[in-house]
A and B are shown apart, each in its own frame.
Chain A
Amino acid sequence: MLALLFILFAGMAIGCAISMVAQRNPLYSAISLIGVFISLACLYVTLSAPFIAAVQVIVYAGAIMVLVVFVIMLLNVDQPERQPRRLRSLVPIAVGLAAILFAEAAFIIFFVQQAPLTPTHSISNVGLTSSIGTGLFTSYLLPFEITSILLLMAIVGAMSLARRGGLIRPRVDGGEKGTNNRQ
């Protein structure tokens, strides 16, 4: 049963990933990427990590990809300009990197098959909400806080970049007080 589900969702993930790379239309790529995220979430559920699965869907499929789709819709790219010539020089590098990636994967698969089978019951509650919460607020508190500060800095930085005239702006006299802040 589990093997069947794994094949189903892994197949879905791979199919969506290939479609994401192959599509010409950016919106189709985005939809395929959402498919990848959702099938990955299903895989997490079969690995008894329901919390990670839920977070995967909420954060990636539900929030980040919505923004991506939003941007694509706003820019409304009708026909993607085809510029294969400019990227021609990158082909050898891409081939080299792909070869390294495949070698790495083969290496890992080889060693996984060499390794003795260990019982997995000791990690069975790693994906549960309470164990993740306990971990985050006890042994991994400092990395957790540092990450949150990092994210806060990113938000503040993005806002100061996006806002017209910077975050600290000398007050301009004149009647158009409200209009500058609209965006």
Chain B
Amino acid sequence: MEDLKQVVFLLIGILVAFTVVMTMVAYTVLAERRVLGFIQGRLGPNRVGYGGFLQPFADLLKFILKEDIVPDKSTRFVYFLAPVIATTAALMTIVVYPFGPEIHLPWLGTIHLVIARFDVALLYVLGVTSVGVYGIALAGWSSNNKYSLMGGLRSSAQMISYELALGLALIGVILQSGTLDLYSIVEQQAGHLGITGWNLIWVQPLGFLIYLIAAIAETNRVPFDLPEAETELVAGFHTEYSAMKFALFFLAEYVNMFTVSMLATTLFLGGWNGPLVHELPWLGVFYFFGKVILFLFLYIWLRGTLPRFRFDQLMSFGWKFLVPLAIINIVLTATLQWSPLFDYVSKFLKTTTGWGG
């Protein structure tokens, strides 16, 4: 009975998190189109609903109703499998992020705003993300199209290369906090007013920068969107995909953006920490999603601003600049962590200014 109750609670939690994330992803697409429009001096889609508010639903309807074309000489099974892998891998990481602190409700008791809390949550995220590469690689291979294959190969190479820098950038945070459990990492970043303890401000500025760049490359976004470079590859790995299968890739890309932003928020921006969270725990949820939205805006902003890398530039940037920088960051963090000087400075700042909690 107790088991059943727990399972039901978990399922409800997953359903709620899924709905919230999906809704926000849908509106991220709309926000991207409108913000890009403003950046480029036009209006963007504003006809469906008030200010284009119902546009995501119109888009979805269109995706469902479109004709589904399967190329004749495609490898049928893999062709169908690829979008499924991409979407599943993207959605699976949602369960580990702590959306907010513990919340006490009058009837239901204490509610944890995290679905699964376990010892290796961070490694789980990395593992599931690394499986997501297959979706794109297999899509490119199975379409039986040169452009698709090129896109798939490029993206596999890119994602493997930047995964390394991404993982190394996270090691700084892990060294700092001594745990892989995301909930504890967030709790450690409380500090004064819920702001001063953020990993970004005081301890991991370099790690944050590396993570940010690697994450953008990992999600195949501008300026690292070589897998789907329109000018060279038509549309990259999803050239031959149409209707709902294309929508799944589209969804996977935006969910990946979202989860990467959530990870950045959790690890570097203090998660749900913020002013007055201890008094009003519900505020934590708003802080969390507010920070995630900031990141998403940064993504859109970059897309409207930056040109694309060339492929050899991309590779040499990743391997010759980001990876060494990440290793330097690890050495630096470990040294500071170990030396008594760090303790002294940290204590001094804490007593005088209240920073570095």
Within 8 A of B (CB), among A24-58: 25, 27-28, 31, 34, 38, 41, 50-51, 53-55, 57-58
User: Contact at A73–B137, with CB atoms within 8 Å?
Assistant: yes
Taking A54-B123, A58-B123, A58-B126 as contacts, is the C-beta distance between A69 and B131 under 8 angstroms?
no
Stretch in B15-23, B152-160, B318-326 touching the partner: B152-160
Q: Mark B119-158, 1 if CB is under 8 A from A, else 0.
A: 1100110111111011001101100000001001100110
Question: Is the C-beta of B203 less than 8 angstroms from some C-beta in chain A?
Answer: no
Tell me, in angstroms, the Cα distance from A61 to B126 when the chains sit together.
12
B residues less than 8 Å from A129 (CB atoms): 119-120, 123, 180
| Contact assessment for A73 and B133 in the assembled complex, using a CB-CB cutoff below 8 Å | no
| Bound-complex Cα distance A16 to B33 (A) | 43
Complex CA–CA separation, A1 to B7 (angstroms): 12
A53 CA to B130 CA in the complex, in Å? Answer: 14
State in angstroms the CA–CA spacing of A138 and B3 once bound together: 39
A128: B residues at CB distance < 8 A:
119
Total interface residues on A, using CB and 8 Å? 27
The answer to whether A70 touches B119, judged by C-beta atoms less than 8 angstroms apart, is no
Please give me the residue from chain B that is nearest to A53 by CB atom.
B120
CA distance A70 to B158 in the complex (A): 12
Contacts of B235 in A (CB 8 A): none
**Distance (whole angstroms) from the CB of B341 to the closest CB of chain A:** 23
A62-B130 in contact (CB<8A): yes
Q: Which residue of chain B is the closest to A34 with respect to CB atoms?
A: B134
Q: How far is the CA of A47 from the CA of B140 in the complex (A)?
A: 36
Query: Which residues of A sit under 8 angstroms from B133, Cβ to Cβ?
Result: 62, 66
Q: A31-B78, A54-B120 are in contact. Are A66 and B127 (CB under 8 A)?
A: no
Cβ-closest 9 pairs across A and B = A62-B130, A54-B123, A57-B127, A58-B127, A50-B120, A73-B141, A54-B120, A54-B127, A50-B119
Q: List 26 A-B contacts (CB under 8 A).
A: A1-B3, A27-B78, A27-B138, A31-B78, A31-B81, A34-B131, A54-B120, A54-B124, A57-B128, A58-B127, A58-B130, A61-B130, A61-B131, A62-B126, A62-B127, A62-B130, A62-B133, A63-B130, A66-B130, A66-B156, A66-B160, A67-B160, A69-B156, A70-B137, A73-B140, A128-B119
